[in-house]
């Protein structure tokens, strides 16, 4: 147990984690609780104390067992604790019993993450998605105490989807869920119509663990993006897409996305799936990793698992190790480069190696370009102008009254361009064949 003091005007929290050595050692659970404390901090609470309990002592009724609960109840009372947060999932019964015994709010990690998403949601789309996930999570828990407490007190656990829904029965909640799903479909459809018909530009998406530095990287690559970045979890909930000019006439669309986390609530994954779907079908992904984090390799696994859960089976992923400036042992960089020879090592905050990253993106995009050569009369300026504007012209040669153009075009636009140049085609080969 470690006890710390906390700031005024913030909620006071106690964290609980379960260990079961040797598979789940205490040190690992301490790490989990550190992340939970970061989540609590993001939600507006300071951690007074953390408790780690052996898993085999888990009690089906009260989670902690009577002796521990009584002990904790005294601590809660003496220190005016507002909330107890459990790293493991609590059954509705356990949460209810603990709330009664401790006389304070009790939530689990899932509830806390949902709460942070609710605080952070800005756009109407994100709000719908979060409310949907909250209602799905709440549905089996609609039995009085939880809702009753959230009505009484402010703070964490109180920013539910609104009083009226909380007080209604399951049927009404289900109706609300259907309504939100319908609204979400409408928003997506609208978005679809807005983006349809745009010129096809290769797409790249930034993915990664929360706080890895995705938005900071977006800002340094596309300064006009003005993506919100800060040292809090889930700073970004909405996808943001900007144009990233790599070379003349070589553009990609870069998207910043919501971060992932260990045990990301399933309901959130489900409700964010529809909006993430489009960006994650990008031509390739940049997986941003906070290399200064002691658990970065575990975080890499979490990200890959979450992508799989989202149905993204992408083998076109570039690992971007970020925050190299914050490595405690700068000598570690050499070993990491050896271990991950394909990865690129950068510092988004300090702007280190960003040119190299751009080059790598550019090379990667180039793999998807095909080369075409046409010969046409110089008076066909409409087509020539179009090709100059929309493709990468690599050479031009005059032959009598004709002009011969060699240009590169991304595979996404190939069909469209080929239809225009079909009668004039001389050579048709991929860049890789050159």
| CA 416 vs CA 365, 420, 423: distances in Å | 18, 7, 14
Return d(Cα 354, Cα 432) in angstroms, integer: 25
Quick one: 215 or 299, whose CB is closer to Mg ion?
Answer: 215
Give the C-alpha separation, 264 to 343, whole Å.
26
Question: Is residue 32 marked as binding?
Answer: no
Q: How far is the CB of 156 from Mg ion (least distance, A)?
A: 22
Residue 282 is encoded by which pair of tokens?
């990008």
Q: Choose one: 67-75, 124-132, 194-202, 233-241; the region binding ligand GTP (CB under 6 A).
A: 233-241
The DSSP code sequence of 124-148 is HHHHHHHHHHHHHHHGGG-SSHHHH
Q: Does 322 bind Mg ion (CB under 5 A)?
A: no
* Burial readout 43-53 (b: 16 or more C-beta within 10 A, e: otherwise): bbbbbbbbbbb
Cβ distance to ligand GTP smaller for residue 48 or 207: 207
Nearer to ligand GTP, 232 or 364 (CB): 232
The smaller minimum CB distance to ligand GTP, of residues 33 and 225, is found at 225
Residue from 42, 97, 165, 236 that binds Mg ion (CB under 5 A)? 236
19 binds Mg ion (CB under 5 A): no
Give kind and range of the element (H or E) at residue 364: helix 354-366
| Interaction between residue 349 and ligand GTP (CB under 6 A) | yes
Contact 221, 273 (CB under 8 A): no
Alpha-carbon distance of 228 to 33, in angstroms, equals: 26
The response to whether 386 counts as a known ligand-binding position is: no
Min CB(205)–ligand GTP separation in Å: 13
Piece of 14-22, 227-235, 301-309, 314-322 that binds Mg ion (CB under 5 A): 227-235
Whether the CB-CB separation of 256 and 203 falls below 8 Å is answered with no
Contact (Cβ atoms closer than 8 angstroms) between residue 306 and residue 296: no
d(CA 369, CA 122) in angstroms, rounded, equals: 38
**42 touches, from Mg ion, ligand GTP, none (C-beta below 5 to 8 Å by class):** none
How far apart are the C-alpha atoms of 48 and 4, rounded to whole Å? 5
Stretch that binds ligand GTP, among 19-27, 51-59, 132-140, 213-221 (CB under 6 A): 213-221
Instruction: Please identify, among the stretches 96-104, 207-215, 332-340, 404-412, the one whose residues bind ligand GTP according to the rule CB under 6 A.
Output: 207-215
Window of 62-70, 89-97, 229-237, 393-401 that interacts with Mg ion by CB under 5 A: 229-237
By CB under 6 A, residue 110 contacts ligand GTP: no
Instruction: Determine phi and psi for 265, rounding to 5 degrees.
Output: -55, 130
Least distance from ligand GTP to the Cβ atom of residue 320, Å:
10
Q: If binding means CB under 6 A, how many residues of this protein chain bind ligand GTP?
A: 24
- Tell me which of 235, 237, 289, 291 binds Mg ion, using CB under 5 A: 235
The answer to whether the annotation marks 208 as part of a ligand binding site is yes
Residue 351 is assigned to a ligand binding site: no
Q: Is there binding between residue 293 and ligand GTP (CB under 6 A)?
A: no
Q: HSE on the CB side for 163, CA within 13 Å? A: 4
- Give the nearer residue to ligand GTP in terms of CB position, either 9 or 231: 231
Q: How far is the CB of 126 from Mg ion (least distance, A)?
A: 13
Residue choice 211, 271, 275, 353 for contact with ligand GTP (CB under 6 A) = 211
Burial track 306-344 (b if 16+ CB lie within 10 A, e otherwise): bbeebebebeebbbbbbbbeebeeeeeeeebeeeeeebb
Are residues 164 and 295 in contact, defined by beta-carbon separation less than 8 angstroms?
no
Q: Which residues in this chain contact Mg ion in the complex, by CB under 5 A?
A: 214-215, 235-236
Q: Which residues in this chain contact ligand GTP in the complex, by CB under 6 A?
A: 208, 210-216, 229-231, 233-236, 259, 322-323, 325-326, 347-350
- Residue numbering of the annotated binding site for Mg(2+): 215, 236
């Amino acid at each position: 147990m470690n006890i710390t003091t906390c700031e005024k005007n913030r909620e006071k929290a106690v964290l609980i984690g379960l260990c079961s050595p040797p598979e789940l050692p205490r040190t690992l659970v301490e790490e989990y609780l550190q992340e939970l404390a970061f989540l609590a901090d993001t939600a507006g609470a300071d951690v007074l104390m953390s408790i780690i309990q052996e898993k085999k002592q888990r009690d089906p009724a009260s989670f902690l067992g009577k002796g521990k609960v009584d002990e904790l109840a005294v601590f809660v009372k003496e220190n005016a604790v507002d909330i107890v947060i459990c790293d493991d999932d609590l059954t509705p019964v356990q949460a209810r019993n603990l709330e009664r015994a401790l006389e304070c709010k009790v939530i689990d990690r899932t509830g806390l993450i949902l709460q942070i998403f609710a605080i952070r949601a800005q756009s109407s789309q994100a709000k719908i998605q979060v409310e949907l996930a909250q209602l799905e999570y709440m549905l089996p828990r609609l039995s009085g105490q939880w809702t009753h407490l959230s009505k009484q007190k402010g703070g964490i656990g109180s920013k539910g989807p609104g009083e009226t829904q909380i007080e209604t029965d399951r049927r009404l909640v289900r109706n609300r869920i259907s309504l939100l799903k319908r609204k979400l479909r409408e928003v997506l459809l609208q978005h679809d119509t807005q983006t349809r018909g745009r010129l096809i530009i290769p797409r790249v998406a930034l993915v990664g663990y929360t706080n890895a530095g995705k938005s900071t990287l977006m800002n340094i690559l596309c300064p006009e993006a003005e993506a919100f970045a800060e040292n809090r979890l889930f700073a970004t909930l909405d996808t943001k897409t900007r144009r990233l000019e790599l070379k003349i006439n070589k553009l990609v669309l870069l998207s910043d996305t919501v971060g992932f986390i260990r045990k990301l609530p399933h309901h959130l994954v489900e409700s964010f799936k529809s909006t993430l779907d489009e960006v994650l079908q990008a031509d390739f992904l940049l997986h941003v990793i906070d290399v200064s984090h002691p658990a970065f390799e575990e975080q890499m696994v979490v990200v890959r698992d979450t992508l799989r859960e989202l149905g993204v089976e992408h083998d076109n992923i570039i690992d971007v190790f970020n925050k190299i400036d914050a490595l405690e042992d700068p000598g570690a960089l050499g070993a990491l480069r050896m271990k991950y020879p394909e990865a690129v090592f950068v510092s988004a905050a300090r702007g280190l190696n960003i040119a190299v990253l751009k080059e790598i993106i550019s090379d990667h995009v180039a793999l998807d370009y095909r080369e075409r050569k046409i010969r046409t009369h110089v008076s066909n300026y409409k087509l020539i102008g179009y090709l100059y504007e929309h493709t990468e012209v690599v050479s031009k040669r005059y032959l009598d009254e004709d002009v011969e153009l060699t240009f590169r075009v991304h595979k996404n636009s190939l069909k469209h361009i080929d239809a225009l140049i079909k009668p004039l085609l001389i050579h048709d080969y991929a860049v890789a064949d050159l």
